[in-house]
């Protein structure tokens, strides 16, 4: 059975940082046509909390992409499982992601969205694991940088479990 290891980011610290990010995004997107695009499933908890802290009008949409499957390592092959419901042409897009790891999925996603001619495309990621990067991608708004450990909680999972934890924790190495 999997064991939850050390807590890397507490629930309290997450709440503080999400509030800070919401204030910054509100300032940066004032007077703009903001579309927040949540990346399912991992980004849902972060997006839900974040958009409550954004104090300007916005619309939301969702995409589901996969490069992991049931593995702890990215395959590098990106599949779009659910596309946008609404048109983003001429709008300011903010991708809300749970974690940037290799950068491959986000790079693909950004190119894909840019082909739809939005006014801008920026990224807000809850976590960044730069030590695993294979391709550089811009992260305009970042929650936390973490070491190269497999983490769960606050939307992040292992085999679809642990997303509901209110904090971020390391999953025990022997269970991976």
- Which residues are catalytically annotated? 101
CB 72 within 8 A of CB 158: yes
Q: Do 104 and 135 form a contact (C-beta atoms < 8 A)? A: yes
CB 104 within 8 A of CB 78: yes
Residue pair 133/102 in contact by the 8 Å Cβ criterion? yes
User: Which structure tokens are listed for 28?
Assistant: 């940066």
SS3 146: coil
Nearest CA-CA partner of 104 in 56, 58, 151, 136: 136
25 vs 51: CA distance, rounded Å: 10
Nearest-angstrom CA–CA distance, 165 and 55: 26
d(CA 80, CA 63): 8
């Amino acid at each position: 059975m999997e064991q939850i290891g050390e807590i890397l980011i507490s629930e309290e610290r997450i709440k503080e940082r999400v509030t800070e990010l919401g204030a910054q995004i509100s300032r940066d997107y004032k007077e703009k046509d903001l579309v927040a695009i949540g990346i399912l499933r991992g980004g849902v908890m972060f997006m839900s909390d974040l958009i409550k802290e954004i104090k300007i009008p916005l619309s939301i949409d969702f995409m589901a992409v996969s490069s992991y499957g049931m593995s702890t390592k990215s395959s590098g092959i990106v599949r779009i499982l659910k596309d946008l419901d609404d048109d983003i042409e001429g709008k300011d897009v903010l991708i809300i992601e749970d974690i940037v790891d290799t950068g491959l999925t986000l790079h693909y996603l950004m190119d894909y969205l840019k082909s739809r001619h939005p006014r801008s495309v920026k990224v807000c990621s809850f976590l960044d694991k730069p030590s695993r990067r294979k391709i550089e991608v811009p992260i305009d708004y970042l929650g936390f940088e973490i070491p190269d450990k497999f983490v769960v909680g606050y939307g992040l999972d292992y085999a679809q479990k642990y997303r509901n934890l209110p904090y971020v924790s390391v999953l025990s190495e022997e269970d991976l």
